[in-house]
A and B are shown apart, each in its own frame.
Chain A
Amino acid sequence: MMTQSSPTTVKSEAGNVAVGNVAEPMALSVTDVAKSYGSGFSLGPVTFDLPMGYIMGLIGPNGAGKSTLIKLILNMIHRDAGSISVLDLDNIADEVKVKEQLGVVFDSSYFSTYWTVKMAEESMMAAYPTWNHALFADYLKQFGIDTKKKVKDLSRGMQMKLMLAAALSHDAKLLILDEPTSGLDVLARDDLMDILQRYIEDGQHSVLFSTHITSDLEHAADLITYITQGKLYFTGSKDEFDDAFRLVKGGPDELDAVNPVAVGVRSYLTGFDALVHTERVNELVQADHELHVEPVSIDDIIRLTNGRAAGPCRHEEGSKAR
């Protein structure tokens, strides 16, 4: 049985992150962006900043609005409100200039599947004046992609790597990846995170990485923006995100005391897991010393802030087990 109070946005500053506390320029600034569909789904308002030189994970369950947000940044769909600035340029007024410096990877190949890898490169050469053929060839070699093969004959993972190679070969300053790891195994995902960390290493490049495989972000992500059910739930540093909540566990009779304070609760036969803002944990613990408090993982936060039913409630009448 899951209960959940309405999500409140937890914001924190992502500004003073540099060594020496000098303010960093922004790679991406999204302000009050909103979009609603006739079907009833609406996203926003969403506000967050990605300073230059960092990796931001965009997380949330499927259907939360992450892909919608990315398409809004790319102006592939039209926003109802707000403004988006990429590398200090307006994403609509300076759309072309923006896209020249943007590298994009989608969860499915955007190349024509009938193209050979060589033709795919030709399309990229045509699109980007800053195309670096030698660099692209190096990446192809590194990823083991044969230039004579047709895109449709590449595996899903290879197709993603092809897009990645293209995104990295025209001196893009911001990389946007939408669920790039869904088709990859652990080793490939590890390689990807290494590539991304190398990419931002000079401090002049940034990454926005949307995923529902949060383990990829546990280590390398600097910032987190968490979207759920079309609402912005949190944006800020990953350490703050982890630190903003605690997992409080207790027995069934302690639930009533915890419920009003918790952000999300999952209860089961022998007790409950509750997600509680760190500031409020003390008052709970003072009232009841038996409560068990733990640090929380990104997955726990996502699981407990979404009202998805985990399964039937297992209370049985007259059950002796407690």
Chain B
Amino acid sequence: MKSIDIKQVKRSMRIDYLRLAASGEGSVWILALVPLVFTFIGFIVDDGAITFGAAGAVTAICALYAAFSAMMVFSNEETTGNTSMNGIVPVSRLNQVFARFALGFVADVITAIEGVLCLLILFHHDEPSVSLFVGLGLGVFGVALFLGGMVIPIFYKFTVTKAMGWSFAILGLLFFAVFLIGKIMPDNIRKRMVEWITTARLGVVPWAAIFAVLVAIVVCVCSFMLSVRVYERKEL
């Protein structure tokens, strides 16, 4: 089995980035500015509800953007006839997959930091605890990683339109499952869980957040192995 080669990964990451930036490199970074707009609004308007709403928007946007940056690469690749290039470039399929995950990971880190900073600005009045924000940041990061990880193998297997359908179906199922579990769970267990989520800490970092990120990483590793399997079988 061939191994991961940083040289090749770098080549492929650069190309994937160019795919993201296809409509102009500015567009990549402009999208990153959107949360800042909400932050600005939430900051200026000193109304609790609006601020909270802005915070919600920021969190959601960051998580989604991070999770679906990989999807945008797939989309650009396919709709512009760019997939055949994958058969030509001197990068093994294993490394192409790794590069895509790596780029997603980097996007996740950047948007998580951005998200945390925005939230810090929004809630600067309330002198919130550091651990809350670390927790939120890691939480956003974990969610993004999880979503992205889940979705990437689907995009390797199917065409973009089909993959989007499957992704939303699976995500919908996931949320429904979580919802069900929440409903079924006996009250005392649920209480204990909420307690744990809100209080347990490792130093300044909430355990729940660490747990979320760990789960996401496991999902990503499995998703990576699955993606490699799918992609190596694929006929370009």
- Do A and B have CB atoms closer than 8 angstroms in the complex? yes
Interface residues of A (CB under 8 A from B): 71, 74-78, 95-100, 102, 104, 106, 108-115, 119, 122-123, 126-128, 152
Assess whether B235 is in contact with A78, with CB atoms less than 8 Å apart: yes
Query: Which of the residues A78, A102, A114 comes within 8 Å of B22, measured between beta carbons?
Result: A114
Binding site for A on B (CB under 8 A): 5, 8, 10-11, 14-15, 18-19, 21-23, 76-77, 80-82, 84-85, 87-92, 233, 235-236
A104 touches B88 (CB 8 A): yes
**Best-buried of B11, B14, B21, B90 by chain A (most CB within 10 Å):** B90
The smallest C-beta distance from A238 to any residue of chain B, in angstroms, reads: 28
Q: Kindly state the separation between the CA atoms of A99 and B8 in the bound complex, as whole angstroms.
A: 12
Identify the closest chain B residue to A97 (Cβ).
Answer: B90
Q: List 11 A-B contacts (CB under 8 A).
A: A71-B236, A76-B87, A96-B90, A99-B88, A106-B84, A112-B81, A112-B82, A114-B80, A122-B18, A126-B11, A152-B80
Contact B81 A127 (CB under 8 A): no
CB distance from A72 to the nearest CB of B (A): 10
> CB-CB < 8 A to B18: which residues of A?
112, 115, 119, 122-123, 126
A176 shortest CB reach to chain B, Å: 9
Across the interface, which residues of A come within 8 angstroms of B21, CB to CB? 119
Q: Closest Cβ of chain A: how far from B215's Cβ, in Å?
A: 33
B90 engages A111 (CB within 8 Å):
no
Q: What CA separation (Å) do A119 and B10 show in the bound complex? A: 16
Further 14 A-B residue pairs, CB within 8 A, beyond A96-B92, A126-B10? A76-B84, A76-B236, A104-B88, A106-B84, A111-B80, A111-B82, A112-B80, A112-B81, A112-B85, A115-B22, A119-B21, A122-B18, A123-B14, A126-B14
Q: Are B19 and A112 in contact (CB under 8 A)?
A: yes
Contact of A127 among B5, B89, B235 (CB under 8 A): B89
> Which residue on B lies nearest to A125, using beta carbons?
B14
Q: How far does the alpha carbon of A71 sit from the alpha carbon of B18 in the complex, in Å?
A: 25
